[in-house]
Amino acid sequence: MEMVIDGTWQAATEGETFAVLNPRDGSVVDHVPLAGPQDADRAIRAAETAMAGWRVTPMTERVAVQKACAQAMRDRAGEVGALLHAELGRPLMGCVGEILRSADLLDIYAEEGLRLVAEMPLGSAPGERIIVTRDPVGVVVAITPFNYPVTLLMFKLGAALIAGCAVVAKPSEDTPLSTLKLAEVFHDAGLPKGLFNVVTGKRALGEALVAHKIPRKIAFTGSVPAGKAIAAAAAGTMKRLTLELGGHSAAIVCADADIDKAAAAIARHGFANTGQFCYRVNRVYVERPVYDAFLRNLSDRASALTLAPAGGDGDLGPLVNEKILAVSERQVADARARGGRILTGGARPMGPGFAGGHYFPPTVVAETTPEMLLMREETFGPVIGVQPVDSAAEALRLANGSEFGLAGFVFTHDLGRGLALCEGLEAGSVWLNDIQRSSHHVPFGGVKQSGLGREKGRYGVEAYLEYKTMYLSWEVPA
């Protein structure tokens, strides 16, 4: 596939390409352009030209276009989902589900656009008025990761478009195909050319996009080191930032919790997408009276999950590449060396259907300690560490003893204790007694080194708008 710039398929200026691989077996799915600074400039200038007309397009028309794009996503979810399945390895139904859920977010952003208003304070003198309005921030660069490439792009694209901005998207080099196909879907649905450009490449391309003088905002989801580098580079041109930089989310299981429900929620959430998402449960702190019972329940649920081999079906797909897989292997080896007990999983499967892919089974590690890599560093894989604690207060201290602050989870029958723990957790989102998907209507983002800013709902749209104050004066008739 080629890139999408100004509504047309285009090759890289230098003509180079790179392969997109299937993580189930290492086969080549397709090739995409290896873009560089000249391609970044072409895409950004196309976005700037397109935005001049889009920013003055009436909101009702923007909403109609965005809703048409959302419906087109639903109509072609199987087509886009098949590409996502091929490049990410996740089971097909999960990939189609991502497309459908992302379409819902696009609709929600469109509806939030209709709620945007200007204000006119009433405290002015006769012949004077002040209007506080909102302008689109400008051309947006959206840089997205591999794990949920469509959803995490919609976090940014849907909000930017409805706010009146144009977007240049750089998808992960591991999963660019679904984003490229999505651009085709949007243009077929009537999105004006130049508003959604997709350029494919590696680090040099990202650096060129961030450093370019025209974009006014960078929206990025990815690692902490990459986010810090983007923030430093963006400071040179005072670009606005939304950074979602991952997490190392903790769950607290109190002695009075419903152990079956807690284990079910943690297994479902911690191993979804083979552990490849930012706000998954990475570590669990369990009060000692229920520690053994919780371990049995969680490990039974983990061992019941199946891996989907190349050409076969199962609950979980492979990890996206060897680098991501190596993190899980390294953390499990470190935990074992430090006295951790591997209850299930822990070793890379081999044999037919697995040998050529990046597979790692759902893994539960007991008797973990704060010194272990698993309890300190983001895994981004299907490994959960469990540590016994003597009190909820100790669990809270350990949960907060992290540089991350994206999500937290609490399980207890005592509502007062639960609310106190939720309020005490240093995290952008906290769940009590169950773990649902993050809602499209409320803000999503983290504190500490988990990032800057919020996405989703009206909070996401506001991140792509700038306040403007206009002072009006006129002659008052005598």
Do 461 and 159 touch, CB atoms closer than 8 A?
yes
Catalytic residue among 98, 112, 184, 244: 244
3-state secondary structure the chain: CCEEECCEEECCCCCCEEEEECCCCCCEEEEEECCCHHHHHHHHHHHHHHHHHHCCCCHHHHHHHHHHHHHHHHHCHHHHHHHHHHHHCCCHHHHHHHHHHHHHHHHHHHHHHCCCCCECCCCCCCCEEEEEEEEECCCEEEECCCCCHHHHHHHHHHHHHHHCCCEEEECCCCCCHHHHHHHHHHHHCCCCCCCEEECCCCHHHHHHHHHCCCCCEEEEECCHHHHHHHHHHHHHHCCEEEEECCCCEEEEECCCCCHHHHHHHHHHHHHHHHHCCCCCEEEEEEEHHHHHHHHHHHHHHHHHCCECCCCCCCCECCCCCHHHHHHHHHHHHHHHHCCCEEEECCCCCCCCCCCCCCCCCCEEEECCCCCCHHHCCCCCCCEEEEEEECCHHHHHHHHHCCCCCCEEEEECCCHHHHHHHHHHCCCCEEEECCCCCCCCCCCECCCHHHEECCECHHHHHHCCEEEEEEEEECCCCC
Active site residue 244: yes
Residue 334, C-beta contacts closer than 8 angstroms, at least 6 positions apart: 372, 373, 374
- The one-letter amino acid at 340: G
Catalytic residue among 87, 165, 278, 455: 278
Could you confirm whether 165 is annotated as catalytic?
A: no
Catalytic residue numbers? 244, 278
